Amino acid sequence: MARMRIIGAVVGACLFSTMALAATDLPAPLVAKCQACHGDGGNSPTGAVPRLNGQQAAYIAKRLHDFSNLASEDPHAMKAMWPVVSDLSNDTFDALAAYYAGQPPTKSRPQGPLAALGRKIYANGATTEEIRPCQACHGAQGEGGAAAPRLAGQHAAYLTSQLERLRLLTRVDDTMFHNARGMSDQQIRALVAYLAAD
């Protein structure tokens, strides 16, 4: 009986420590490592590095899992992310995802004459190019949902790069390839003008 109480206490302590990691501040060295590229609170100051603040937690966790598998990502992203995530646990992935999802998101700032076309494509798609409405997965305001990422407020350079990579299959995502493969350069610029914050 005493042995069962000890085992129960150990299991309880392990569960508590996992919950504590998700609910409290992450280790300072890990946060500092993330901030070196992604900025304070995930609000990246660099156009080529994605903003994580306010991003969907499920999406962040999935991407971290992808980056920990050398066979699942494009070489550019893996070069930057593999050294950071290769020794992290699934619990840490989830805690990082919750932390960044809880940060105040950057709002989109539609800019220029192409933003109106971008809004139209985002809401309605483009039937001649077989582009489905982006809002069907990414939310009416670009806020994302479930495993679909938040797009609103992202860097223009990053959004452009990702749409181009998805279109060319240098970033593999079956769902997005079917939507991005027919996009023209102008349509990509229009979507970015509507969604981005810079």
**What are the C-alpha distances in Å from 181 to residues 27, 63, 130, 163, 167?**
41, 22, 9, 9, 4
Tell me: pLDDT of 5 over 60. Answer: no
Q: Would the pLDDT of 167 be above 70?
A: yes
Report, as an integer, the average pLDDT of 122-133.
Answer: 94
Query: Residue 50 and residue 12: Cα distance in Å, rounded?
Result: 37
pLDDT tens digits, one per residue of 60-115: 999 999 898 877 766 777 888 988 898 999 999 999 999 999 999 999 999 999 99
Give the global pTM: 0.84
Which neighbouring-strand residues pair with 126?
131
pLDDT for 15 beyond 80? no
> Mean pLDDT score of the chain, rounded to an integer?
87
pLDDT(11) > 80? no
Confidence band, pLDDT 50/70/90 cuts, at residue 6:
very low
Q: How far is CA 96 from CA 8, 99, 114, 122, in A?
A: 28, 5, 35, 29
Torsion angles phi and psi, residue 170, rounded to 5: -85, -10
**What secondary structure letter does DSSP report for 41?**
G
Least confident of 35-49, 125-139, 162-176: 162-176
